Amino acid sequence: MEWSVEQLSSSLARTIARFEEEEMGVRPSRVTVMVEDDVVIVHLREVLSPSERALARTEAGQAMLQRFNTLLFNSGSSPSVMEQVAQVLRREVVEVQTSLSSLSGSLVVVFALGEAVQFDQV
């Protein structure tokens, strides 16, 4: 079945919002997904818990939260969010970059895509 860009975006938004909620305990207030040839950009709004917002008030806390989110999106869960995104897109995810705004509590995640991947049907 061929998916439209809108269907892919919607599926990815649900997948990543669920991942954030399961791994961090906070459901983003909004998730925006942009799918382009070999890149997917995801913008998650209001993803910081009250304790993380307090931690983000310091430069060291901001750096810690940024490192944590980078690790989480690269390998923090099973199956990893990289694997989940790869399954939705049926493409290899070769790189993930994250950027957390401590001021707005928003997170931007960029997935760089590789070749098409065949997944076993379950």
Residue 121 lies in a domain: no
Provide the CATH number for the domain around residue 74.
3.30.980
Q: Are strands 91-101 and 30-36 parallel, antiparallel or unpaired?
A: unpaired
Domain coverage including residue 9: 5-116
Residue 27 lies in a domain: yes
* pLDDT score for 111: 92
* pLDDT score for 104: 87
Residue 122 lies in a domain: no
Backbone region of residue 31 per phi and psi (left: phi > 0; alpha: psi in -120 to 50; beta: other values): beta
* Packed helices 81-89 and 59-75: angle between N→C axes, nearest 10 degrees: 50
Count of domains for the chain: 1
- pLDDT one digit per residue (tens) for the chain, 122 residues: 566 778 888 888 998 898 888 888 889 999 999 988 899 999 999 999 888 889 988 999 999 998 988 888 877 655 678 888 888 888 898 988 989 888 888 999 999 999 887 766 54
